[in-house]
A and B are shown apart, each in its own frame.
Chain A
């Protein structure tokens, strides 16, 4: 059940909503974030924005002061305590029925809020996740992430269908406020509080659904180094939270999430690590072979052989090709379900090449962090 059956199409459901924006040193992006929230297609007297300055050391506060006179923006400042403390302050202050969060480097589509609240018409729905899109993909690293996020949007919809959403993305996930009274507030959760909260909801049997048409744009890291840092935090956090919630893994009580999704996600982390090691070993082997060929046989030019006979047609290679085809299709479908348009983009090629080469590095580091129980830092 994905909740769509409960959705009524009359658009006059406008419950009161608070949106919390935790801000730490975001002077360059915060203004755009707040403007996008002000521009939401939602009655202005039905939502407030809590801009929470988590002890920024740059000019964030100066930027925020310009927004103080806006009627539905409430600026709060506190000492730096981490993202989860900023979110908790917002939740404690809020009087609304629904609470959403928005990272300060993200901005929302005008329609997003309207689409999301419709999902709360179903009394059983405790949280709603959006589709996240990479904004302004202007270099290879961001193009790679763009395809990856499209892939993620499809996967989230699929997880929604089997009730297995276990990450509520930092950008624009919404909660029924009463759920915080039931399960408690945000925790530090190894710096991946968005995953931990979703896991906690799942553990308590609360329903999380996905609204793929609600779009939120986020700024992806623009260099390999920053991306690496972000992903080490994500994967380390995932593994650490998984250990905290290990009781859910292989537990029939949690349905497909416990039996299939979590075990496979954990298995996937280790699998990509081993595939990477194997790839490196075979790369060194073939380089060594080339070296021996030249050392013992001298260097001479030999044209590549395109005889079909020598194409690798082992069952494993054919399965690999099918996997590539499925990945391309999934990215394509991910774009379709969030925007409603069929549009093929070559960014998927970056996803299949760049990502495959660089992702093992953060996975390896994350496994190392987990084994040595080190929390990955935010920045």
Chain B
């Protein structure tokens, strides 16, 4: 009969426990750093939007050039990606991320309104799409819709896509849902004034886009073909 050495087991348990606690601690510390980074990007975006709005109100149509330049659309989409990544891998900070997401949605709406003004008053014409998905419930078609929108964005660089979580408890989102008559049949996409409830293939979406924005889509395609022919001619 062998003697059981409980002290040894306790020691082993302590060592193992230390390794696990350290791993969890490091993981949480990095997650908090992520939140800090999101907050800092959000601050930048928020300041940028506010400053453009202010400029726009102060100078009206005179500010077209500045307004177009100062808006950092790439930053807002980077922010969106980071928030959705964190939401999928949040762990313990879920409620904090929901809060950040609400703020992000507000920034998107502000950017949308501002850019529509810029588009109306200045020469630069943008195209707009609002994309509604649902993070909380299963929405297998939502991913497909987002791939199709990515395709459109690649093809038409002047298309601005704003995505909103349908289930997010935020009054501003509810208002948009009412305005555009979004049904609970997700994904839903608003292109120009047209609301599309349910998933549609990229070809259908592209057709609607060209109907809604005939001039803008042509301009984008022309710019792309000029760019590619320049590329081929430089190759030669």
Interface residues in chain A, defined as those with a beta carbon under 8 Å from any beta carbon in chain B: 163, 252-256, 259, 289, 292-293, 296-298, 300, 309-310, 312-315, 317-319, 322
Q: Quick one: given A309-B37, A309-B85, A322-B23, are A253 and B202 in contact (CB under 8 Å)?
A: no
Of B126-134, B145-153, B188-196, B216-224, the segment with at least 4 beta carbons within 8 Å of chain A is B145-153
- Known A-B contacts: A252-B4, A253-B2, A298-B154. Give 18 more (CB < 8 A): A255-B2, A256-B2, A259-B4, A292-B143, A293-B147, A296-B147, A296-B202, A297-B151, A298-B151, A298-B202, A313-B27, A313-B31, A315-B27, A317-B27, A318-B23, A318-B27, A319-B20, A322-B19
**In the complex the two chains form, is B148's CB within 8 Å of A297's CB?**
yes
B116 CB-CB contact with A under 8 Å: no
Q: List 25 A-B contacts (CB under 8 A).
A: A163-B2, A253-B1, A254-B2, A255-B2, A256-B2, A289-B143, A293-B147, A296-B147, A296-B148, A296-B201, A296-B202, A297-B150, A298-B151, A298-B202, A300-B154, A309-B34, A310-B85, A312-B89, A314-B89, A315-B20, A315-B23, A315-B91, A317-B27, A318-B23, A319-B23
Q: How far is the CA of A22 from the CA of B149 in the complex (A)?
A: 70
**Inter-chain contacts of A253 with B (CB < 8 A):** 1-2
Measured CB to CB, the nearest residue on chain A to B153 is: A297
Q: Is chain B's binding surface mostly helix, strand, loop or mixed?
A: helix
**Inter-chain contacts of B34 with A (CB < 8 A):** 309
Per-residue interface assignment for chain B, residues 1 to 40, with 1 indicating a CB less than 8 Å from any chain A CB and 0 otherwise:
1111000000000000001100110110011001001000
**Inter-chain contacts of B31 with A (CB < 8 A):** 313
**Inter-chain contacts of B201 with A (CB < 8 A):** 296
Give which listed residue, A255, A293, A309, contacts B82 with CB less than 8 A. Answer: A309
* Closest Cβ–Cβ distance, residue B97 to chain A (whole Å): 13
Measured CB to CB, the nearest residue on chain B to A319 is: B23
* Closest Cβ–Cβ distance, residue B201 to chain A (whole Å): 7
**Inter-chain contacts of B4 with A (CB < 8 A):** 252, 255, 259
Measured CB to CB, the nearest residue on chain B to A252 is: B4
Those 9 A-B pairs whose CB atoms lie nearest each other, nearest first: A297-B147, A255-B2, A318-B23, A296-B147, A297-B151, A315-B27, A313-B30, A296-B144, A315-B24
Measured CB to CB, the nearest residue on chain B to A323 is: B19
Which one of B20, B37, B89, B151 has the greatest number of beta carbons of chain A within 10 Å? B151
* Closest Cβ–Cβ distance, residue A341 to chain B (whole Å): 28
**Inter-chain contacts of A298 with B (CB < 8 A):** 151, 154, 202
B residues 196-236 touching A (CB-CB < 8 Å): 201-202
Measured CB to CB, the nearest residue on chain B to A164 is: B2
**Inter-chain contacts of B85 with A (CB < 8 A):** 309-310
* Closest Cβ–Cβ distance, residue B45 to chain A (whole Å): 16
Q: How far is the CA of A235 from the CA of B136 in the complex (A)?
A: 44
Q: How far is the CA of A259 from the CA of B1 in the complex (A)?
A: 13
B residues 138-170 touching A (CB-CB < 8 Å): 143-145, 147-148, 150-151, 154
Measured CB to CB, the nearest residue on chain B to A321 is: B23
* Closest Cβ–Cβ distance, residue B31 to chain A (whole Å): 7
